[in-house]
Chains A and B, each alone.
Chain A
Amino acid sequence: MKVSPLKSIILLSLLTLFINGPVQAENITLNVPHSNLKADAEYVAGDADKSAVLILHGFLTTNRFHTVISMARALQDEGYTTLAPTLTLNISKRQKAIKCNAIHTHSLEDDIIEIKAWIKWLHNKGYQKVTLLGHSSGSQELLATLLTDTEDLNINGAIFTSLFYLNGEELGISKQDIESATQAVSKGLTRPSKYSFLFCKNNYYSTPNSFLSYLKLDRQYVTEALDKLTIPSYTIMGSADQRYQSVGQNWLEVLEKSKTHLIMVEGANHFFSSEHEFDLQDHIIDIVNTL
């Protein structure tokens, strides 16, 4: 039987689709421990013999953030299982990025509880190895999570991208804000106020407890935490990240001296946009292949 070239291509395409199957993304809902909140995550099952990668988004965003999607797609293409949760930030099944002037009642401790619940979910799903991958403040939060009791969760490594810190005058955090928030907490006041926090300049509308909880992640905390890790860690930074303007280029030297393996992507910004997206993907795949 003679088959025309066009028919051969169509048959081959259908066969490839049948063997590999389309990537099936599943929306998973999790009851957050110690609360009545429900959290969502996008789960894509990969090869059973490969590790599962938990990908955490940055400050106030969601798992639909383009850098998160890009990292997840690259891992899925290589057969890795991915789980990309959206932190609730105290909003059940949060769908969208939350604005600076929304009321922020969430805390770092709440976020860590959620992150650990997701790692446990993967663990209970039967994954023997779990890799943590964070972007921006998601990296700091994963780092803080790793300093809690996570030894029984089979975490085989951590990859931090655009890793900085959240507290410091150079970042625009004012002593006055810290003092007023601290005083409010000491008086038992929970009324939200406007603070300056990261890119939210004078419009981060937060309860004092919520605001103060994240300030724990200062420069010293992050550098010391990197050295305390008992699992291998990798930090991928863009050389054109504008945040060096506030934290200083010597931040890279600090990372270089720490126990983390520092990888630089020349010309990349904080989000590894445009062609640097592929550099980021290549580095991540190289790292997970070695873990």
Chain B
Amino acid sequence: MRLQKVLTQPINVYFVTFLVTGVFILLFLIWSLYSQSQNIQQTVIEKSFSQAQEEFTNNFNASINHLTLELKTLSEWDEVHQQLQDPSYYFFWHNERLKESVLFKKNYEQIELYNADKKRLIPIQTDASQTLVELPPEIQTLEPKVIILSATEAHLILFQTVLDREDQQIIGYIGASIDLLSFLIQNNDFTYVNKSTIQFSKLGEVSLKTALSYIHYEPVANQQQIIYGA
């Protein structure tokens, strides 16, 4: 009897109850959708950063391996052995022949040959306007390094041993200075990294091993990010 009394209410009460419940359900659904979209956006951003980081790291390592192989090929070149054996015409070879060769790649800023005592064959005075980082007259360490001059300018310095073809003894070294940013951009395809955002975040000389941690970049703005206004 009491239940019947409770349920028997004017139509207005039922209407207001239904309206309030409906509004709450609607608000819950809106909140739920917003919350999910925020989660998706966060996941997309995290995924984009993760893909960009993976892509950049892979491309960076592949580029260094590629450069190392190029220098290895250069170290096996007959003409490098010719110059190390008899550098009488090194000046002409270095200034004319080397730069015409297909082995001298476009991102190489400077290539120098060093004798077995790690001294440059001939200490050529390079035009300072052309090369901001001059390879040293004597090799102090074979450890590869990166000299960062600005946010968009860094020079990778690599050394490669040249071995005697018979007894595999070191007969000299090749020193190379490479425009790192140009090399990375021109020799790699980036899908997740926005190439125009690649920058160096520290100035000065760093080892190649730590160089990656001083390179900053942004992922490309993908469709989801545009939709969600990221």
Contact = CB atoms under 8 A, between A and B. Distances in A.
Interface stretch (B93-101, B124-132, B218-226): B93-101
A94 B78 contact: yes
A90 B92 contact: no
B86 A105 contact: yes
B64 to A, nearest CB: 26
Interface string A181-206: 00000000011100000000000010
Contact of B166 (A38, A91, A207): A38
Contacts of B86: 90, 105
Interface in A85-144: 90-96, 98-99, 101-103, 105
Given A91-B78, A95-B78, A103-B97, A191 B166 contact: no
The 9 A-B residue pairs with the shortest CB-CB distance, nearest first, are A93-B165, A91-B82, A91-B78, A103-B89, A94-B78, A103-B93, A192-B92, A102-B79, A96-B78
A192 B88 CA distance: 11
A269 to B, nearest CB: 27
B143 interface: no
B119 interface: no
A101 B92 contact: no
A182 B86 CA distance: 24
A98 B78 CA distance: 8
Contacts of A96: 78
21 contacts: A36-B85, A91-B78, A91-B81, A91-B85, A93-B81, A93-B165, A94-B78, A95-B76, A95-B78, A96-B78, A98-B78, A99-B101, A101-B97, A102-B78, A102-B82, A103-B79, A103-B92, A103-B97, A105-B88, A191-B89, A205-B92
A91 B79 contact: yes
A29 interface: yes
Interface string B66-81: 0000000000101101
A21 to B, nearest CB: 28
B85 A92 contact: yes
A168 to B, nearest CB: 27
Given A95-B76, A103-B92, A90 B82 contact: yes
Most buried by A among B78, B86, B101: B78
Contacts of A95: 76, 78, 165
Nearest to A190: B88
B85 A105 contact: no
A102 B166 contact: no
**Contact size class for B?**
10 to 19
A94 B82 CA distance: 9
A104 to B, nearest CB: 10
Nearest to A40: B165
Contacts of B85: 36-37, 91-92
Contacts of B97: 101-103, 205
Contacts of A205: 92, 96-97
A277 B132 CA distance: 55
Contacts of B165: 38, 92-93, 95
Nearest to A37: B85
Given A37-B85, A38-B165, A91-B81, 15 more contacts: A36-B85, A91-B78, A91-B82, A93-B81, A98-B79, A99-B101, A102-B78, A102-B82, A102-B97, A103-B89, A103-B92, A103-B93, A105-B86, A191-B92, A205-B97
A205 B79 CA distance: 13
B81 A192 contact: no
Contacts of B81: 91-93
A103 B78 contact: no
Interface string B144-167: 000000000000000000000110
A36 B165 CA distance: 14
Interface in A14-38: 29, 36-38
A93 B84 CA distance: 13
B92 A29 contact: no
A95 B88 CA distance: 21
A95 B73 CA distance: 13
Contacts of A99: 101
Given A29-B166, A38-B166, A105 B79 contact: no
A218 to B, nearest CB: 27
Contacts of A191: 89, 92
Contacts of A101: 96-97, 100
Contacts of A38: 165-166
Most buried by B among A91, A98, A190: A91
A101 B96 CA distance: 9
Nearest to A99: B101
Interface string B187-219: 000000000000000000000000000000000
